[in-house]
Structure 1
Amino acid sequence: MLTLPNILTLSRIFAVPLLAFLLWWPGWTAGYAMGFVLYGIIALTDYLDGYLARAQGAVSKLGIFLDPIADKIMVAAVILVLTAQGFLRGPVVGDFHVIAGLIILVREIAVSGLREFLAGLQVSVPVTRLAKWKTTLQLLALGALIAGGAVPEYQWVHLTGLAALWGAAILTLVTGWDYLRVGLKHMD
């Protein structure tokens, strides 16, 4: 069913290759500026699709299925491109910041698998308030890292993105453990 919320969700998925293209050249500050704008639009549609679906009573199975996938595709693509282009590098620890990105990716895959497993048992695992904070911090961190590529002369933007990425990684571990703890109750 192609409702406006579902079209917004699909637009997020289709925008990811363009976002990756804009972020591919680390020295292209205009590309990173355009990527930051596109990233902001994608993040806004993430909020809007859910809001509109609830407000219009248009929550659909397709939307419930696609929304978390669209989020994970965008987050994974941005983390991978930023890693490939050296943006998860910082002072003192160098490339160690890649570990924060890896924690986020591993948790997203693990929780998706756990949700799929539990769905087969007809067990629902609702998204917690802390998980929503994790997602918000994750989106802000990646946005700051992209913005840092647009304004490399302001090193604090990049450093803020790295710090927020670590904050998101810590919340990722906490929320991942919460989901795992619920899931373990349903395993043999």
Structure 2
Amino acid sequence: MLSLPNILTLSRILAVPILAFLLWPDFEPIGLQPRQLDYLFAFGLYCLMGITDYFDGYLARASGTVSRLGQFLDPIADKIMIAAVILMLVFTRDIQGYNVFAALVILLREIIVSGLREFLSGIQVSMPVSRLAKWKTTAQLVAFGAIILAGGLPMWTFIPIAGLILLWVAAILTLITGWDYLRLGIRHMD
């Protein structure tokens, strides 16, 4: 139960409140840190969370310690992380205007696909992750990372632009992969 992959997954869940705290707009500890430094720390933590997401699955498969707890917690940790980042970036207005729709598409798809996976597992139908879904995940992780990094490096104006472009790419891929998963699930909803 407390294998290294499971510990990495749990660490991701426990890091989410810290990430939210660093992105919180009123966080200014006794005036010692400029806001940009908060974003840079948040970016570092976000990257570390992404790295642990990769390594928990890799280590579990490589060492043959894939557990039911890990299979249960890993997608939950992913969804919690993405939902918290979306909520915080919208709250801080790092994502604003029409770009909120792209973030909302990603958030809604995460919730719908999670429910669909839960339903299908109840009737013992697996829903494998497609290659396009992996590209979608990569695009969204890099997009949110770039948007967080932009808060720490406001003088580099290309970073938020690149982040928002990738956010829309991720949203489009989200719609495509979400539709693919929904079609698969509807076939089993007799």
Smaller-chain TM-score bracket = over 0.9
Q: 1:187 — aligned with what?
A: 189
| 1:120 positional shift | 1.0
Give the match for residue 92 of structure 1. Answer: none
Partner residue of 1:124?
126
Kindly indicate whether residue 87 of structure 2 is the aligned counterpart of residue 80 of structure 1: yes
SS of 1:111's partner is helix
Match of 1:142 in 2: 144
Q: Is structure 2 residue 171 aligned with structure 1 residue 169?
A: yes
Q: CA RMSD in A?
A: 1.0
Q: Cα distance, 1:83 vs. partner?
A: 0.1
User: Which range moves more in the overlay, 101-110 or 149-158?
Assistant: 149-158
Q: 2:48 matched to 1:58?
A: no
Give the one of 24, 32, 39 matched to 1:32.
39
Tell me the distance in 2 between the aligned counterparts of 1:118 and 1:71.
19
Give 1:25 deviation, angstroms.
2.2
2:50 pairs, out of 18, 43, 47, with 43
1:90-113 deviation line (CA, Å, top 9, x unaligned): xxxxx1100000000000000001
Amino acid across the alignment from 2:111: I
Which residue is equivalent to 1:101?
Answer: 103
2:115 is matched with: 113
Matched positions, count: 183
- 1:49 Cα deviation from its structure 2 partner: 0.3
Q: Deviations over 1:30-61 (max 9, x none)?
A: 00000000001000000000110010001010
Give the match's secondary structure for 2:98.
helix
How far, CA to CA, are the matches of 2:137 and 2:72 in structure 1?
17
* Corresponding position: 1:16 with 2:10: no
Instruction: Give unpaired runs (5+ residues) of structure 1.
Output: 90-94
**Equivalent residues of 1:25, 1:31 under 8 A apart:** no
Output the amino acid matched with 1:130.
L
Tell me how far apart the structure 1 counterparts of residues 160 and 51 of structure 2 sit (CA, whole Å). Answer: 22
The one-letter code matched in structure 2 to 1:151 is: L
- The amino acid that maps onto 2:53 is D
